[in-house]
Structure 1
Amino acid sequence: MRIFFAAGLLAATLTAHAADLSRLDADVPAQMKKSGIPSVSIALIENGKITTVRTWGEQSAGVPATNETQYNIASLTKPISAEVVLRLASEGKLDLDEPMYTAWVDPDLANDERHKLLTPRIALSHRTGFPNWRGKAGLKFTLGAPGAQYGYSGEGMQYVANFAERKAGATLDKLGQQLVFAPAGMANTRYIEPAELLPRIAKPHDAAGKELEPTLAGKANAADLVYTTAADYARFMLDVINDKGLTPQIAAQRSAIQTDRKAEICKGKLEAACPQTIGFGLGWEVFNFPGATILMHTGRDPGLWTLAFIDRSTRSGAVYLTNSEKGHEAVFAMLEHINANPDFLNFLRAH
């Protein structure tokens, strides 16, 4: 349950109302102070439009955070990388079900014939058989053959990115700029942080409140370490809501469950409140409730916690960025003033 659930907290689908903003401006900072969270930045989407961007606190000691502050979004990088692959597929430059070994084989897997089973679809839905990250012994199918079972994996995202680079003849950094960032107007987002943006970075803080040095990517990482603003990520989410750059067929597959996790998750006290279906689509976790399909992803690195979600039925959503390992503790200070899907909230409360 790692991907959608951290420290017992999850966000819910929402529609923001202007009347709630005064409560947000009071309650989020109050919870930040209580939990020792240096800063929080959010962007809210309602009916297909960004309605609110708010940032509270300090990006580093004595430096106020603003709507232009850059946050490491951790695993919220993965939906961006998935979108690159989906847009390449929509352009006919790759196929989601083609074997990836024809263009890319990780050297660690060259002598394991199971690498021939890997496809982009399997990687984007976390069924590669890889661990989250390779160990000292290299990359191995520690969870079994590709396609056999769910296993959340940053390595899987890196693998499909290596494949996409070779199929498209360009680096992931360039593909992200060409296919996602520039079309969405994400002027403050790159896979590799430009030097001029470094003074705007929100420095991470551990659970004790100690300020840490940020980790920067020297090379594009498909699974982690993209830096962006809440407003920029919301622009990306709008393009997802609008299925920009995708064929109707591929857009539908992104929101369709590829890896069913209901039997794994919906047990015990969760069973009564569980969604009709739950699992991974292509790059996002998917929750299906009566009349509502919700896409969601979370992120966590040392010193930070992030979350983004989309309600496809209401064309609404939010991105929530923090620079604290305790960032999840202020999520409900935001959610309490937002009109959330009741079925989804019931599911969250059951945890």
Structure 2
Amino acid sequence: MAAASLAAATAQAHPVQRGVDDAALSPLSGLETAAPRLLSSLKIASLSVAIVENGEIAEAHAWGEASPDRPATIATLYNVASLTKPVSAEVAMRLAAEGRISLDEPMSAYWVDPDVANDPRSARLTPRLVMSHRSGLPNWRPAGGGKLSFINEPGETFGYSGEGFEWLARFIEAKTGEPFENLAQALVFEPGAIRDTAYTRRTWFEGRLAVPYDADLDVLAPQVADHFFASDDLISTPRDYARFVVGMFQKQGVTPDLYLEREKLQTVRLTQTCAGDEPGCAAEDGFGLGWETFLIGGRRFLMHTGMDDGTFTFVYLEPETGAGLVLFTNSTNGWKAVLPVLELTGADAGFIAHLRSSLS
């Protein structure tokens, strides 16, 4: 794809919906100017962003190409990859708030993966261990029919695991007797007015999906699930995912204790290796329940990323201030846009400095 083609698509992208009088105050004003250059220089096909301020959606905008010769708009649907996990974790949180599951109950009483049915470690898995990535399971079982097995002792160390989230979903279905997608719809999507998000293929995807592009801007085959995954392949728009973030700020469906438990450090991923007064130094860096959690300069930040072939997505929020940003791309190079976008939209300098140091 030529840079001129990207520029043409950017010019046609859906306009930001705001009034003329507040243009100078727009959190996206700097990004509006810089986006075409970012897309071209970083080889990113499209960028779609939603900004949350004071616990409400402030703006949404898209630039670039959703597919060859089709501009991205704020209605373009993206595969969010691992940003599926916070949504699935929220289903578990809201079931826990209703007393239908416990975060600390053994899941083996209702479901065990057949591959490890005879491994006594299966009896130690709980929703909390899965949601904080301490299940002891690998990210994925070996391809080509390979069997799932534990690689660590449950509860003892951090280990990012999509398999753990699939286990959690099957436990939830077995205990509640309801399909996981139905629970997500009733507990998360409907309360949050989330209408452009789904785990599996829908008729309303037609003509709206962003196709993935590799690092050289060659088109890849779209990934759309026909059977739900709790850990991957959710389809959404940044604005709709921002509605999910707003629901979290509003404490939808959770008790005050669970609201605080979500952001509490459950799993230490990195020990502090910087001076406490160093910009971006994190006093805490690890996972809460479904989210990465950081304590930087006395301020709490939650974050998650998603990456599949031709897809990169990012979300962060600051619970105390109600600030946040959702960023979707349909490009392998999408991760390169995160720091520039955060800087251009006025995110916290300490948070940006921490992310920069973690990438160096």
TM value normalised by structure 2 = 0.89
**2:258 aligned with 1:254, yes or no?**
no
The share of aligned pairs that are identical, in percent, is 43
State the structure with bigger RCO (CA 8 A, min sep 6), 1 or 2: 1
Q: Distance in 1 between matches of 2:190 and 2:309?
A: 29
Deviation, 1:65, is: 1.0
Amino acid in structure 2 at the alignment position of 1:229: T
Deviation, 1:54, is: 0.5
Q: Which runs of 5+ in 2 are unaligned?
A: 1-22
Deviation, 1:183, is: 1.1
Q: Contact conserved, 1:206 with 1:324, CA < 8 A, in 2?
A: yes
Q: Which residue of structure 2 lines up, in the alignment, with residue 234 of structure 1?
A: 242
Deviation, 1:99, is: 0.4
Q: Distance in 2 between matches of 1:124 and 1:207?
A: 31
Deviation, 1:270, is: 10
Residues 20/174 of structure 1: CA separation in 2 closer, same or farther (3 Å cut):
closer
Q: Which residue of structure 2 lines up, in the alignment, with residue 214 of structure 1?
A: 222
Q: Distance in 2 between matches of 1:203 and 1:109?
A: 37
Amino acid in structure 1 at the alignment position of 2:109: T
Deviation, 1:33, is: 1.3
Residues 129/261 of structure 1: CA separation in 2 closer, same or farther (3 Å cut):
same
Residues 260/17 of structure 1: CA separation in 2 closer, same or farther (3 Å cut):
farther
Q: Contact conserved, 1:241 with 1:310, CA < 8 A, in 2?
A: no
Deviation, 1:196, is: 2.6
Deviation, 1:244, is: 0.7
Q: Distance in 1 between matches of 2:265 and 2:157?
A: 14
Q: Which residue of structure 2 lines up, in the alignment, with residue 67 of structure 1?
A: 74
Q: Which residue of structure 2 lines up, in the alignment, with residue 267 of structure 1?
A: 273
Q: Distance in 2 between matches of 1:97 and 1:256?
A: 15
User: 1:108-158: per-residue Cα shift (whole Å, max 9, x none)?
Assistant: 11110110000000000001111100114311001x221111100000111
Question: 2:207 is paired with a residue of what secondary structure?
Answer: helix
Amino acid in structure 1 at the alignment position of 2:269: R
Q: Distance in 1 between matches of 2:329 and 2:188?
A: 23
Q: Which runs of 5+ in 1 are unaligned?
A: 1-15
Matches within 5 A, 1:1-351: 18-135=25-142, 136-142=145-151, 144-263=152-271, 266-267=272-273, 272=278, 273-350=280-357, 351=360
Q: Distance in 1 between matches of 2:140 and 2:242?
A: 28
Deviation, 1:268, is: 6.9
Amino acid in structure 2 at the alignment position of 1:137: G
Q: Contact conserved, 1:58 with 1:65, CA < 8 A, in 2?
A: yes
Deviation, 1:165, is: 1.0
C-alpha RMSD of matched pairs (Å): 1.8
Deviation, 1:20, is: 4.4
Residues 271/227 of structure 1: CA separation in 2 closer, same or farther (3 Å cut):
farther
Question: 1:45 is paired with a residue of what secondary structure?
Answer: strand
Residues 269/33 of structure 1: CA separation in 2 closer, same or farther (3 Å cut):
farther
Q: Distance in 1 between matches of 2:270 and 2:154?
A: 20
Amino acid in structure 2 at the alignment position of 1:262: L
Q: Which residue of structure 1 lines up, in the alignment, with residue 5 of structure 2?
A: none
Amino acid in structure 1 at the alignment position of 2:146: A
Q: Distance in 2 between matches of 1:20 and 1:191?
A: 30
Residues 256/17 of structure 1: CA separation in 2 closer, same or farther (3 Å cut):
farther
Deviation, 1:17, is: 7.7
Q: Distance in 2 between matches of 1:28 and 1:168?
A: 46
Residues 21/270 of structure 1: CA separation in 2 closer, same or farther (3 Å cut):
same
Amino acid in structure 1 at the alignment position of 2:170: N
Q: Contact conserved, 1:185 with 1:235, CA < 8 A, in 2?
A: yes
Amino acid in structure 1 at the alignment position of 2:321: T
Q: Distance in 2 between matches of 1:287 and 1:344?
A: 9
User: 1:182-205: per-residue Cα shift (whole Å, max 9, x none)?
Assistant: 111111111112023132100000
After the TM superposition, which of the residue ranges 340-349 and 184-193 deviates more from structure 2? Answer: 340-349
Question: 1:276 is paired with a residue of what secondary structure?
Answer: strand
Residues 175/341 of structure 1: CA separation in 2 closer, same or farther (3 Å cut):
same
TM value normalised by structure 1 = 0.91
